[in-house]
Structure 1
Amino acid sequence: MPTTGTVLRNHYKIIKILGSGGFGDTYLAVDLDLPNQPQCVVKHLKPNSDPAVLQIVRRLFDSEAQVLYRLGNDSDQIPRLFAHFEEQGQFYLVQEFVDGEDLSYEVIPGQKLTQIAVTKLLEEILEILAVVHKKNIIHRDIKPQNLMRRRQDGKIVLIDFGAVKEVNTVMVNSQGQTSVSVTIGSLGYMPSEQAGGQPKLSSDVYAVGMLAIQALTGLQPHELPKDPTDGEVIWRNWANVTEKLALVLNKMVSYHFRDRYPSAVEALEALKLSTPQQRQSTPTITTPTIQTPPPTKIISPNWSRRKVIQTVGFAGAGLGLAIVLPRFWQSDSGETTPTSRPASTPEITRFASNLKTFQFETVIVNAQGNITNRRNEQANYFEEDLGNGVTLDMVQIPGGTFTMGSPEGEAERDKDESPQHQVKVPGFFMGKYEITQAQYQAIMGTNPAKFQGDGRPVEQVSWDNAVEFCQKLSQKTGKNYRLPSEAKWEYACRAGTTTPFYFGETITTDLVNYDGNFRYGSAPKGEYRQQTTNLGKFPPNSFGLYDMHGNVWEWCQDVYNDNYTGAPTDGTPWLSGKDNNIKLLRGGGWIYDAGGCRSADRLSFAHASRAYHVGFRVMAVALA
């Protein structure tokens, strides 16, 4: 056990102990190798000496460290991890020191906070937790002591991610195999599934909800009674809140995880929609008309190879398939050159007699988000009549080969975007826009969308709903409609580009509907619309597809796998994985940050899940 004055790795000098618990101790230290010797926090983990436990703890320790490294780069409200190492069977984490006080100084037993104060606190916590949940990471120990109010700027900082701190019980089965019981969480904030060793993102939502109820009632979670018939928390008798906020909190702390918000993202959205400020800021929704932007004069700069690659791709958001857009071939000199002759396939030939042409303008931005180039393009499409004046535009996508996934140097990338690999994609047709509410109503007879408007994308649709839509659309039209494979989706989104976005190195809220509070790279912050937008509002990519970045996440056929090892290389969907019920989403949404809208970004979701930021678009191939 380190003592005051101990120097670890000839680098970190222990100043004093900050706290002690069953998992180990926490110390204040200084970094001797850096100028001014800045303060840091050293966490000393003391695992059981059993060799089987040590082996498992070592694995969990390394895994947890990787999580902390990732998260520390995503937000300044998560302490950065500076180092992790093992010495003499002991494990150490070195993290950024947060100067402030935890929320136990604000959420005090016996004292009630006002609804306004609790709503603000709840929003602050959910905003930072949403960053964590977007990475599919579960914190597992949300409580006042693990939420710090930073003195410097008053922001809340989420601390104490610890998958290894509560490793305790060794179990040996009849075959002599050793396993370890892992229990992480705190009494009262931990829901039943987490206590049973199966935490989920919604388990964190439960903990945040209990913290808010504690602040409203002045009662600690373990002091609140529960309904003996269904296990639901009884708390309304001790709090004075509006019905709307009560409904949000009740859903957050539902006994069964299936009845809660799936993650902090959805909980935050519901909270904002429940407040008077949000209702006042939501504009009246009218039925929009989708229009094709008029052609404008082409600016013809001196084209470098980089500019040629960027100009080939950039999309807005929508359903539509472009057929005549440029295909690319590699010249002997290494230049990527467009050609107007798309690959011919049976699918393209089948629809060729009904094709029309539309014109559109694409734009390219620099690293600061400024438009540096505009270009007129055109694409082929066919129009599907769905009845009652509702149509569906399907754009022809030429076949080609592209590099799927993101390079290691791309900002905000995740490990599941690796390894990069070549995929050969045959030609196909894809929706010019995301499926609209009018189109969904025409085929399914219902409109489940939260943000109503015929020309807005349909949302709150599950993967199962989207598949059923494709089946009914196929029956109605005699064509073969389906969800795109993940590979075809990324190919269609990139439209020949290799940059993070088809607009170039970054995006702005003038081009994409996303949470403008979070910028990408050197681009400025922008507008946060807090809802979907009409399709066709933003510029398309070079294939003529709109809203491939932002607006709503789009379902793909594929089962989610956490990397591309073994992925198909012919454009077909990957239909097997660790859990076939977990499907793939692409494109980002209005509630997500810019990094989540990248061409390579991926999101996993249970096939039956629905959310205000999840929709889909369709692709088509000819029936045999």
Structure 2
Amino acid sequence: MICCINPNCEKPENPDGQTYCITCGVKLVPILRNRFRMIGFLGKGGFGRTYLAEDIDKLNQRCVVKQLAPNVQGTWAINKAVELFKQEAIQLQQLGQHPQIPSLDAYFEQDNYLYLVQQFVDGDNLLKLFQNRGIWQESQVKQLLLELLPVLKFIHEQKIIHRDIKPENIMRRRSDGLFMLIDFGVSKQLSGTVMSRLGTQIGSDGYTPLEQMQGGEAYPASDLFSLGATAFHLLTGVYPFSLWVEHGYSWTANWQQHLKIPIDNGLALILSKLLAKDIQRRYQSAEEVLKDFQRQSISTPTPTPTPAPISTPTLTLQRFDFEVVTVNARGNITNRQRRQAQFISENLGSGAILDLISIPGGSFMMGSPSTETGRSNDEGPQHNVNISPFFMGKYEVTQKQYQAVMGNNPSNFKGAKHPVEQVTWDEAVEFCRKLTQKTGKSYRLPSEAEWEYACRARTTTPFYFGDTITPDLVNYNGNYPYGSAPKGLYREQTTDVGIFPPNAFGLYDMHGNVWEWCS
């Protein structure tokens, strides 16, 4: 398919091999700037159009091309549109180093139109997820806040305010479940700003705070209100716009009356402060919100389990002892320590028992330093993340456990104690849903931040064993050693869970064997 880039074309999509657009008759541009092949039409707005494209210079990697063609009149309005379009490009270049913000690939002019090219995020926005799956659980909303607050902290430190945070502008990447913050205000800034020289109305009614609507002023606290309104929408199923139309901003004072079920008092207090009508009564920084989450996690006597029950009348905690080992750069064990952890057990039937380790809350630096060997670009920049207490499976889900819950076993390497594999993300989510239904308790996948926190177990080295790993400690391809470690055994199949040493939290096989899905 090839797309017509005439901004006035009603149906821009054409079959391959077409020279002139079927709809408007304009000559097609098969390759924009000798680099970008337009393959799909994503949408249009007051600022112009957005296309899905392939980047020839990056082995046809998909990207998003924004074309500036403002539907406004007058020199001032057009100049303002150009200024804001360039401003977004500058912001993306500045912020795109963050793994949860799309990066800028190109910014250029061709045939009297400006173009901005950015990273393509393959996933769904939160509004679409909400429409497909319904109201979010309290734990999911809390996870969203804990993952996005560090992103807001990062952009605010760069002296940038998003000004249009809402479910449509937050995407969940399909490959890893990571929340991505998108659309840094171009279309919404243009559609509001170019309307009047007297004032600037940027944002979306219902999600935008009073100070931003009245005078166009926006601060870090303004973004925090919008994030709170987004959380409210997902948690209650009520559109903030509808409440704003009927009640103005008075709804924010009694937002809890729209809850279908009561929520934890700690989260309710945080949401109330996020949604404060008066900016002076609101959180002033993302760091303040994160500190409140951290204080709550320290003072909460009963941990919030993940992926174990988040609400249960009684938890019978048991203890077990284990040994943690540390290795040097060559993979030789240099230290052994005895540790103890608490856990609960869930009987899944058919002789399958699920043990879940109590993971203490805390904070850690997520990602890896730029100097770490083998580091990927999406592992940085490092940023501090606060994690509430939760429970996590002691082992990877075994084939016996999966069979007991799902009634089937899709694995290639059969074995009751082998980890289940050949499981899609949707199937992993369905496993949690059925486990919830089976036990009467609530289960979910861990967030990426929770998984990394649990894996590291308060270590800062590349692996929780130290600076490297060996096949004596981890089931992986020993023909490809890490760092200074020697080559070793390649088993070419999965192994029983729990046969290698655990990390300091008492979790096994967080390195090697199979990959784990996150939410």
Please state whether the residue corresponding to 2:171 is helix, strand or coil: strand
Alignment RMSD (CA, Å): 3.6
The residue number in structure 1 matching 2:34 is 10
The residue number in structure 1 matching 2:342 is none
The residue number in structure 2 matching 1:186 is 204
Q: How does 1:427-576 map to 2 (within 5 A)?
A: 515-522=364-371
- What whole-Å deviation, never above 9, does each CA across 1:355-399 have from its counterpart, x for those lacking one? xxxxxxxxxxxxx9xxxxxxxxxxxxxxxxxxxxxxxxxxxxxxx
The residue number in structure 2 matching 1:238 is 258
Identity, % of aligned positions: 35
- More helix per residue: 1 or 2? 2
Is the contact between residue 39 and residue 54 of structure 2 (CA under 8 Å) also seen in structure 1? yes
2:293 equivalent among 260, 271, 278: 271
* Structure 1: tracts of 5 or more residues without a match: 173-177, 282-367, 369-512, 532-593, 595-624
The residue number in structure 1 matching 2:234 is 215
Structure possessing the higher relative contact order (Cα contacts under 8 Å, 6 or more residues apart): 1
Cα distance in 2 for residues equivalent to 1:85 and 1:56: 17
Is the contact between residue 41 and residue 96 of structure 1 (CA under 8 Å) also seen in structure 2? yes
2:65 equivalent among 20, 32, 42: 42
Is the contact between residue 189 and residue 211 of structure 1 (CA under 8 Å) also seen in structure 2? yes
Cα distance in 2 for residues equivalent to 1:146 and 1:84: 21
- What whole-Å deviation, never above 9, does each CA across 1:589-621 have from its counterpart, x for those lacking one? xxxxx9xxxxxxxxxxxxxxxxxxxxxxxxxxx
Please state whether the residue corresponding to 1:56 is helix, strand or coil: helix
The residue number in structure 1 matching 2:175 is 152
Please state whether the residue corresponding to 1:262 is helix, strand or coil: coil
Q: How does 1:286-305 map to 2 (within 5 A)?
A: none
Change (3 A) 1:121 1:10: same
Per the TM alignment, residue 55 of structure 1 is displaced from its structure 2 partner at its CA by 2.4
- What whole-Å deviation, never above 9, does each CA across 1:15-47 have from its counterpart, x for those lacking one? 11012222222110111233x211110112222
- What whole-Å deviation, never above 9, does each CA across 1:555-601 have from its counterpart, x for those lacking one? xxxxxxxxxxxxxxxxxxxxxxxxxxxxxxxxxxxxxxx9xxxxxxx
Change (3 A) 1:278 1:86: farther
Change (3 A) 1:98 1:231: closer
2:158 equivalent among 108, 131, 135: 135
- What whole-Å deviation, never above 9, does each CA across 1:252-275 have from its counterpart, x for those lacking one? 011111211112222233234334
Is the contact between residue 516 and residue 528 of structure 1 (CA under 8 Å) also seen in structure 2? yes
The residue number in structure 1 matching 2:219 is 200
The residue number in structure 1 matching 2:92 is 68
Per the TM alignment, residue 113 of structure 1 is displaced from its structure 2 partner at its CA by 2.2
- What whole-Å deviation, never above 9, does each CA across 1:36-71 have from its counterpart, x for those lacking one? 211110112222352222323333322321111011
The residue number in structure 1 matching 2:80 is 56
> Does residue 1:261 correspond to 2:283, yes or no?
yes
Please state whether the residue corresponding to 1:241 is helix, strand or coil: coil
Q: How does 1:595-610 map to 2 (within 5 A)?
A: none
Comparing 96-105 with 518-527, which one deviates more in the overlay?
A: 518-527
Q: How does 1:374-453 map to 2 (within 5 A)?
A: none
Change (3 A) 1:81 1:529: closer
Is the contact between residue 26 and residue 42 of structure 1 (CA under 8 Å) also seen in structure 2? yes
Cα distance in 2 for residues equivalent to 1:61 and 1:528: 31
How many residues are treated as equivalent by the alignment?
A: 295
Comparing 212-221 with 1-10, which one deviates more in the overlay?
A: 1-10
Is the contact between residue 13 and residue 31 of structure 1 (CA under 8 Å) also seen in structure 2? yes
Is the contact between residue 46 and residue 190 of structure 2 (CA under 8 Å) also seen in structure 1? no
Change (3 A) 1:527 1:231: closer
Cα distance in 2 for residues equivalent to 1:17 and 1:229: 37
